[in-house]
Structure 1
Amino acid sequence: MTTTAVRGSGRSYQVCRRCVMDTSDTHISFDETGLCEYCQHFDTTIAPNWQHGGDPARQLPELVRKIKKVGQRARYDCVIGVSGGLDSSYAAYVAVKKLGLRPLLYHVDAGWNTAHAVRNIASLVDGLGLDLVTDVINWSEMQDLQLAFFKAQVPDLDMPQDVAFFSSLYRYARRNDINFVVTGTNFLTECCREPEEWGAYPGIDRGLVRDIHRKFGHRKLRTFPIADVLEYRILYHYIYRIRRVDILNFIPYSKLQAEQELAENLGWQPFLHKHHESRFTRFFEDYWLREKFGYDKRKAHFSSLIMTGEMTREDAVKRLESPELDEQTMAGEFSFIAAKLGIAENDLRQLFSGPNGTVRSFRNKHMLISAGWNLLRRVGLERRLLR
C-alpha cells in the first residue's frame, strides 16, 4: 500500500481497506485502520439519515399527496429529466408504477446520445404511456463551448453538458408552472461524490463557463441554457417554488433489481457502466480523464456501490484492472470525437498532450458555491462529502 508515488501529489500510494478510493484523490485522508474519509462519512452522516426504506420513508406518502394536490389541475404533476440511464429511468418507473404520479419526461439532446440511450428513452415513453419533450441544444454553440473547455485544458470537460441538462430542465419547469422536479439522484449509486479535482465542480457557475468561452470560444452563446447557481438556489427555490425530489432515496432501491424490473416490464436494457448513455461522457471518463489526468471516476462509482452493499470490493478491484472499453474501440472513439467536434484527429491529440490546467485559473464563484454547500450540509439538506 505504500510502494507507488501518486502523480503530482508527493504522497505514497494508499487505497482504502473497504472501498477503492485512493490517493489519486490528492486530499484524501485515512484513519489509523486505513479506512478512508468517504467511508467514515458514509457511516456517520449518510447511512444514519438515509431514507432508504427506513423510518424517514414514512414521509413519502405525504410527499406524494402534496405533489398530486399541487398538480391536480395540470396535465402533469411533475417533470422528470431522463437520459436513458438507470437512475433517471427507474425514477420514472417508480413515479408512475409505484406512486401513481403523472410525470412529463424531459430529455436534453446535447448531440451525444448513444443509440442505446435513445432506445431506452423510447421504452419509457411507450411502456409507461408518457409524453416526452426533447430540447435539442444548438449544436454549433454546444460544439464551440466544448472545444473551448478542451483548449482550457481543464478536467471538467463534461461541464457544458451538465450545465445544459440541468439549466434546460429547470427553465422548462418554470415556464410551464411545474412545481416538482423528480430526479434519479440517489445515495445508492452516488453516495461517494467524485472529488472536485477529478472534474466535479460543485455547481453551475455562469461566470466560469463564460470566462472559459470568452478566452477560447468563437461563437456567441445566444441560446445555450445556463442557470447560475444563485438563480437556482434563490429564484427557482424561493420565488418560483420549484422543489427537487430525489425519489429513489425514499424507497428500497437495488441496482440489479431495478435493471431487472425495467428490462422485464419495459424492454429497457442496462449499460456497461454508469454514464455510458452519452458517447462523449463515455469517452471523457473512460479515456481522456483517466489517461490525461490520472483520474478514474469508476473508483468513486464502485466505492458508492461497495458502501451500499451493491458490489464487493473484490469485484471492483478486478474491474479496475482494465478499462471499460478495449483499446481498438477507444481508438475509434478518439477519431469520432474529433470529427464530431470539427477538428482534425491530430489536433485533438495535441490537446491531449498539452499541459493540464484547472478551472481555478478562470473567473469563478467557487468560494460562494462552497459556502452554499457547507450551509446545506449544516442544515441537513446535503449529506455527501464535498471536497
Structure 2
Amino acid sequence: MTMNENTLTISNIKICSRCIYDERVSSITFDEQGVCNYCHQIDNLKSEYGTGTEEGKEKLSFIISEIKKAGIGKPYDCVVGVSGGTDSSYLIYLAKEKWGLRPLAVHYDNTWNSAISTQNIFKVLSKLNIDLYTHVVNNKESDDIFRSFFLADVAEIEAPTDLALAETMYQAAAKYGIKYILEGHSFITEGITPIGKNYFDGKYIQSIHQRFGKKKMKTYPLMTFSKFLWWTSTARIRKIRPFWYIDYNKEEARSFLEQEYDWKYYGGHHLENRMTAFFHSVYAPQKFNSDFRNNTLSALVRNGFLSRNEAWAEYNTPPLIEDELVSYFKKRLDLTDTQYKEVMQAKPKNWTDYPTYKKRFERLRPLFYMLAKANLVPMSFYLKYCFPAKAPA
C-alpha cells in the first residue's frame, strides 16, 4: 500500500484523486485527472444551488418568503422531519429562530429509537415550543418488516424507515394544509450516496414483505407509486433542503446544540437509532462489505476538514459497534444464533432481484426532472433513481 496526499492505491484498486471513493463504488467513473464522477456531481450541485454563496442565500430567502405566504391563516407553514440527530435538530432551530417560520415537527417512530435521540427531540422542541406530530408503527409489525429484509439477504434493511418517514411527513403536511417540507440533508457534509446497495421504493418494500413477512401491514405507512405521484404532482407538496443553499458546518451545529439545548451526541453518524446503527456498524460492513462512512469522510475531504490520508485511515478502522447491539437485534427479530449466522453468511442479493418501481422512474425521467426543478421531489431522487444503474457487485 502506498499513501500520499495525491495518490492512494491499495492492491491496484483505483481511488479518486480528490476524495476516498474507490472503483468498488457503484457506477463510479474517473476523469483524466483521476477525479470521480461523484465529486463532479457535487460541484455541479454547488453551482446550481449556489451553496454557501450570496446567490444561495438569496435563493433560500426567496423560498422562505414563499413558505410564509403559503402558510398564511394556517397553524403551521412547514413540516420538518426530526430524528434527534444533528441535522434535523439544527434545521428546526434555524426554521423557527432564524427564519421566522412556524414549523410542525414530524417524527416516524420505528420503535428502535435510542434513549438519547428521544431525549434530544424532547429537549429541542420543548425549548423552542414546537408541536410534534408522531406516527408510531406497531412494534411487532415493524419488526416483521425488518425481519423480512434480513431474510431476503438484501442490504436495504433501513429502507422501510426512510420511506415511512417520507410518507408520514406528506400525511402530516396534507392534514394541516402545509405545502412545504424541510429536510435536513446536506450534500456538502454527507455527499449523495451512490445507488449501489442503497435503493428503496414502495414496491420493493411491499414485495419483500409479501414474500418473507408474517404479519399484515396495518400501521406501516407504505408509500405506493400512486401516492408518490399524488403528493408530488397533485397535492404539489414541495420538498426543500435548506442546507443545499447555505454554508452548513455539522461540527459547529453539534456544538451549538450541546450548549443551547443540552443536546447529547450519540457516538457517530446515523447511530441515533438502533436499527440504523446495526445497519451501518454491523450489517452493511459484515455481510455486504460496504462501509457507508466513505460518504461522510469523502465529504470532509472535499471540504478541507480532513486530509485524504486521515480519512482513509479512519475508513479502514473498524466501525463503532454499540454494546449488546447484535443481541438486541436478534432478540427483537426473534432470531436464533444459528438463524442469524446463516443469514449473515448467506450470499448477498441485490435490489434488482425483487420487484421495484425503478424502470418506471427511468421511463418517467422527464416528468421527475420537472418535478425536481420545481422542488416537488428532491434533486437527489432524480439523480439516483431516474437513470439506469448497474447492480452492486
Residues 150-207 of structure 1: CA deviation (Å, up to 9, x unaligned): 11101111111112211122122112222211111222223x3222222x11x52x22
| CA spacing shift, 1:309–1:370, aligned 2, 3 Å | farther
The equivalent of 2:52 in structure 1 is 53
Partner of 2:209: 213
Q: Could you list the runs of 5+ residues in structure 2 that have no partner in the other structure?
A: 1-7
Task: Using the TM superposition, give the Cα deviation of residue 272 of structure 1 relative to its aligned residue in structure 2, in angstroms.
Answer: 2.8
SS at 2:236 equivalent: coil
CA distance in structure 1 between the partners assigned to 2:88 and 2:320 by the alignment = 24
Q: Report the counterpart of residue 68 of structure 2 in structure 1.
A: 68
Root mean square deviation of aligned Cα: 2.2
> Contact (CA 8 Å) 2:105, 2:132: kept in 1 or not?
yes
| Residue of structure 1 in register with 2:356 after alignment | 364
Distance 1:185 1:374, change over 3 A: farther
Q: Distance in 1 between matches of 2:10 and 2:253?
A: 40
Please give the alpha-carbon distance, in whole angstroms, between the structure 2 residues aligned to 1:231 and 1:309. 41
The answer to whether the Cα contact below 8 Å between 2:81 and 2:106 also exists between their aligned partners in 1 is: yes
Aligned residues: 371
Match of 1:135 in 2: 135
d(CA) in 2 for partners of 1:346, 1:134? 36
Secondary structure at the counterpart of residue 24 of structure 1: coil
Q: Quick one: which amino acid aligns to residue 195 of structure 1? A: P
Percent identical across equivalent pairs? 29
Instruction: Tell me whether 1:353 sits opposite 2:348 in the alignment.
Output: no
Cα 1:299–1:49 shift into 2, 3 Å: same
Q: Which amino acid aligns with 1:208?
A: Y
Structure 1 position 39, deviation (Å) = 1.5
Shift of 1:117: 0.6
**Offset at 1:285?**
1.2
In the superposition, the TM-score normalised over structure 2's length comes to 0.88
Q: 2:104 maps to what in 1?
A: 104
SS in 1 for 2:251: helix
Are 2:264 and 1:264 aligned? no
* Distance change (3 Å), C-alpha of 1:259 and 1:106: same
**Post-superposition shift, 1:377?**
5.3
Which residue in the other structure is 1:8 paired with? none
Q: Show the counterpart of 2:113.
A: 113
SS at match of 1:167: helix
Contact in 1 for aligned 2:56/2:246 (Cα 8 Å)? no
Structure 2 CA distance for aligned equivalents of residues 20 and 35 of structure 1: 10
Give the C-alpha shift of residue 376 in structure 1: 4.5
Alpha-carbon distance in structure 2 between the residues aligned to 1:383 and 1:80:
18
Q: Tell me the equivalent position of 1:251.
A: 246
Consecutive unaligned residues in structure 1, runs of 5 or more:
5-11
Counterpart-to-counterpart distance in 2, 1:212 and 1:342: 18
1:313 maps to which of 303, 308, 313: 308
Aligned equivalent of 2:335:
343
What is the deviation of 1:375? 5.8
Query: Superposition pairs for residues 1-387 of structure 1, below 5 Å?
Result: 4=11, 12-43=12-43, 45-54=44-53, 55-190=55-190, 192-198=191-197, 200-201=198-199, 203-204=200-201, 206-232=202-228, 234-325=229-320, 329=322, 332-372=324-364, 376=368, 381=373, 384=380, 386=384, 387=389
Comparing 94-103 and 133-142, the one that deviates more: 133-142
SS of residue in 1 equivalent to 2:196: helix
User: Which amino acid counterpart does residue 94 of structure 1 have in structure 2?
Assistant: L
Distance 1:380 1:334, change over 3 A: closer
Secondary structure in 2 matching 1:197: coil
3-state SS of paired residue (2:223): coil
- What is the letter of the counterpart of residue 50 of structure 1? Y
- Using the alignment, how far apart are the partners of 2:85 and 2:268 within structure 1? 9
Distance apart, 1:310 and its partner CA: 3.9
